[in-house]
Structure 1
């Protein structure tokens, strides 16, 4: 299935999302985000791994700059036209944009970003929306929104601070500088750096490893880890007890 400049496919427990506008380095538009949200909402229950990648040499150069410069694209109005609307309408539209990213945090599956080349702005935030990031040596990240007078608003600020802390996140965003592969790995933005020719194979191997444990165990573990920093220690202990009770009940039921 292709929509909004994105290719989608589901093969048993693995779903694939491929940004497919290589002629503009997979630049994104609101149509991209709507297509992502619709795919996430319709994902079959049996999917346990979602792989997000970009066609061609770049993961994504971010928002299509023509929308920033005031040019409509395929019926999409320029981004700054949002500023003429009522606050409630602005919030509603941005929430719709964010829906294209936040579904990747769902505990029902593990999401992997396969990143090569540029991951800029919305591209960086799409990679951050995923649970894991496998990158190539030429991968480079930048949060360019502040350079345009805007803020990152597609859900990227939360995982960025979780991964590298407030101070580093602020410096990256406020300076809009490039973070290259070695620094991304050192800071924990990337799980592993592999040669470009090994990217697909590494992601395939990682997907297989994630599929090895029982689905319920991975689902419950991801949910525990997502909430760990938001709970007190005692609250997390309680959550672990509750999750384990559910697992034991399911396993006992499957045996009996």
Structure 2
């Protein structure tokens, strides 16, 4: 996938996605989103952690600006031409774009974004698609879509609200301002801020820690947490009971088998 600006690898329980277009700050294209979706659907069942990072000094500067309107040398359709298509086709195309991000939230994996430099627009949403974010002091987040007359449509709105609350999420999106690393940590957007030279080692330590518990326990726990905000307290208690019963049966079967 290097011709698309992506590198994929799988090493036992850890998979890695590297955005590899450093000459344009890892700007993204719909072709990259399609490749991301394909990689997500093809993951071996033993993969439990996915690390997403960017080559060079930036995580991702968002959608390649050459694809917003007019002719480009990328061989891909400009985004604004979607406005001339039938509604059903637009919905289908955008759903395909979203699939490149949404698989990172599947309960059977925990995804980590290793963010340095710019994480703008689609780059911000890719970081938000991940469960955890480890960032360097120079990391800068910005949701630029509204400033271009568009909306964030790659799955970033829900996790942003869940992390920082409605009012702060609205302010960040409506102003398209920069959120620097220190504020990101304060708001809960970043789990930890580490020096750039420690980013790789920190992500490895975190990955190793996440691989410690049994896979089924992590899968069920993530599913409980993902759905907690949409359930009543009683429904959440019910979901916990059901998840625990599944775990008890799986553990007993493993001991007896």
The TM-score, its normalising length taken from structure 1, stands at 0.99
- Give 1:233-252 correspondences, 5 Å limit: 233-252=233-252
Q: Output the CA distance in 2 between the equivalents of 1:20 and 1:35.
A: 13
Cα pair 1:67 1:73 within 8 Å, conserved: no
Q: Output the CA distance in 1 between the equivalents of 2:82 and 2:95.
A: 13
Query: 2:69 aligned with 1:63, yes or no?
Result: no
Deviation of the 1:43 alpha carbon: 0.7
Query: 2:68 aligned with 1:89, yes or no?
Result: no
Deviation of the 1:75 alpha carbon: 1.6
The TM-score, its normalising length taken from structure 2, stands at 0.98
Query: Which residue does 2:45 correspond to in 1?
Result: 45
Deviation of the 1:102 alpha carbon: 0.3
Query: Which residue does 1:201 correspond to in 2?
Result: 201
For 1:125, what is the secondary structure of its paired residue?
helix
Query: Which residue does 1:6 correspond to in 2?
Result: 6
Q: Output the CA distance in 2 between the equivalents of 1:5 and 1:197.
A: 24
- Superposed CA deviations along residues 128-156 of structure 1, whole A, max 9, x for unmatched, are 00000000000000000001000000000
Cα pair 2:5 2:21 within 8 Å, conserved: yes
- Superposed CA deviations along residues 216-242 of structure 1, whole A, max 9, x for unmatched, are 000100000000010000000010011
Cα pair 1:137 1:194 within 8 Å, conserved: yes
Cα pair 1:114 1:203 within 8 Å, conserved: yes
Cα pair 2:134 2:194 within 8 Å, conserved: yes
Query: Which residue does 1:23 correspond to in 2?
Result: 23
Cα pair 1:135 1:199 within 8 Å, conserved: yes
Q: Output the CA distance in 2 between the equivalents of 1:3 and 1:241.
A: 48
The alignment covers a number of residue pairs equal to 256
Query: Which residue does 1:168 correspond to in 2?
Result: 168
Query: Which residue does 1:188 correspond to in 2?
Result: 188
Instruction: Name structure 2 gaps, 5 residues minimum.
Output: none
Query: 2:151 aligned with 1:115, yes or no?
Result: no
- Superposed CA deviations along residues 72-131 of structure 1, whole A, max 9, x for unmatched, are 343201110111101111101000000000000000110000000000000000000000
Query: 2:244 aligned with 1:219, yes or no?
Result: no
For 2:50, what is the secondary structure of its paired residue?
strand
Cα pair 1:3 1:35 within 8 Å, conserved: no
Instruction: Name structure 1 gaps, 5 residues minimum.
Output: none
Query: Which residue does 1:35 correspond to in 2?
Result: 35
Instruction: Please identify runs of 4+ aligned residues in structure 1 that moved more than 3 A.
Output: none
Q: Output the CA distance in 1 between the equivalents of 2:207 and 2:128.
A: 18
Deviation of the 1:3 alpha carbon: 5.6
Question: How large is the Cα RMSD of the aligned pairs?
Answer: 0.8
